[in-house]
């Protein structure tokens, strides 16, 4: 399935990796960061459980950026480990 549904996700700014901090943004609406905010930073780390849509979301974001003339590359970490050539791992 390659259909992407934009869920207008928001992300949480974490300074510790604790249960309380993981739950706080969703429960209390605190520190909610949009894609626009994340893209102003030099880098961001996005973590979530398996099958939560990270790969699909990041692919779609990279494509949106390219569609608007911005430079964007998506590289799945597992592809870097599997492919002998970096160019092949690029999508």
Residue, of 52 and 83, whose pLDDT is higher: 52
Token pair belonging to 36 = 């626009």
pLDDT tens digits, 48-63 = 888 888 888 888 888 9
HSE (side-chain half, CA atoms, 13 Å) at 80? 4
- Each residue of 48-83: b (16+ CB within 10 Å) or e? eeeeeeeeebbebbbeebeeeeeeeebebeeeeeee
**Band of the pLDDT at 87, cuts 50, 70, 90?**
confident
3-state secondary structure of 60: helix
């Amino acid at each position: 399935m390659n259909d992407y549904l934009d869920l207008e996700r928001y992300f949480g700014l974490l300074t510790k990796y604790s249960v309380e901090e993981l739950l706080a943004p969703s429960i209390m609406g605190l520190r909610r960061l949009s894609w626009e905010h994340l893209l102003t930073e030099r880098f961001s780390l996005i973590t979530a459980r398996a099958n939560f849509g990270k790969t699909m979301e990041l692919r779609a974001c990279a494509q949106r950026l390219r569609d608007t003339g911005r430079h964007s590359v998506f590289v799945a970490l597992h592809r870097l480990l599997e492919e002998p050539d970096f160019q092949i791992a690029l999508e």
